[in-house]
Amino acid sequence: MTLAANEIFSRSKALPDIDGYTVLCELGSGTYGVVYAAVDSLSDAPVAIKRIDTGLLCEVEDAHRVLTELRLLRLIDHEDVLRLRRVCVSLERGTIDIVTDRFDSDLHQIICANDNLTDDHHRILAFQLLRGLAFLAGCGVVHRDLKPHNILVNRNCKLVIADLGLACPIASLCRQAERGCNMHYVTTRWYRAPELCGAFARASPQSDVWAAGCVIAELLSRRPMFEGRNDREQLALIVRFLGTPPPEKLREVANARTRSFITALGTIEAPSATRWREAFPSASDDAIDLVKRMLAFLPGDRITATEALSHPYFASLAAWAHRLSEHEEAKLAQMIATKCNTEGDAKMTLESVMSEIHAEDFFALQYKRGHFFGDTLMAS
């Protein structure tokens, strides 16, 4: 739906007064509240404001998801990750207003509405997606919910990764796995990696690479790659396309039930070049090769996001494949592991999570491109 259409649709609705912003219309609603299109009254910058009604946060997990996203967005500053502009918390109204940059659409809408995207469009969108993933991986963060709906795009083909509510530092995932917690969960099944469907490895940056491979495949073909109705069907669809892993690879699947399930599917040959071409009839050979490398069955066999940026498909964009130095990445990863540690959050009550959101040091130092600066978070 276009912005103009949204304005007409929401004309009869009462729009909230949000200090410092002119609210234009409602963009949509979700589980926890409503998203509005607005304009910054000082800079005239277009923004999106997600107003969360704290009364809808019925479970501690709901509040924790909001808290996790705020913690990460306060620390992460990268051109390919949605930028947090401001947070306003009102205990009196029972609301949390999260202000971010506003984008024209999400990738799902782009894929559904556009049948005239060129190889150049595909390339620049895929490049930004992988550059953002490479940054998150370098910072020790796993997104865990990558899908077209969570990738925002502007008319000029600028892309950002959004919705970090399920994102988690790798260190926290490792500690939780050691305690026997379920670390295989990723929200959207169609983009779930084999190791998560088959519960034989925890979520990792390589799980994000699989999801990104499915997203890029969908961008190229305009249809989801694997549309399973449950984890078993999802895993079966993957094996039937990629083929049965050879015995030495199958032995790396640590879950005996998953190994038996894959074996019971019979011996399925790996797809030929013709099969890949049939799946992506309009894609370039380099684009198909990239997807093929991202959709390797075992996480250790997949290309990493950083390696993908050097793939021949992106040869014309090599000059834009910049990243933080190893020292800067390590410093930011340590800060995220410390400040976004979810170790004790399982014991938090809903009230304590909300109190922590409100009590955050909203002028805490934030890391940005190699130096520190004061962020713009404010409490009301």
**Which residues are identified as catalytic?**
145
3-class secondary structure per residue, the chain: CCHHHHHHHCCCCCCCCECCEEEEEEEEECCCEEEEEEEECCCCCEEEEEEEEHHHCCCHHHHHHHHHHHHHHHHCCCCCECCEEEEEEECCCCEEEEEEECCCEEHHHHHHHCCCCCHHHHHHHHHHHHHHHHHHHHCCEECCCCCHHHEEECCCCCEEECCCCCCEEHHHHHHHHHCCCCCCCCCCHHHCCHHHHCCCCCCCHHHHHHHHHHHHHHHHHCCCCCCCCCHHHHHHHHHHHHCCCCHHHHCCCCCHHHHHHHHHCCCCCCCCHHHHHHHCCCCCHHHHHHHHHHCCCCHHHCCCHHHHCCCHHHHHHHHHCCCCCHHHHHHHHHHHHHHCCCCCHHHCCHHHHHHHHHHCCCCCEEEECCEEEECCCCCC
Length of the chain: 380
Distance from first CA to last CA of the chain, Å, rounded?
32
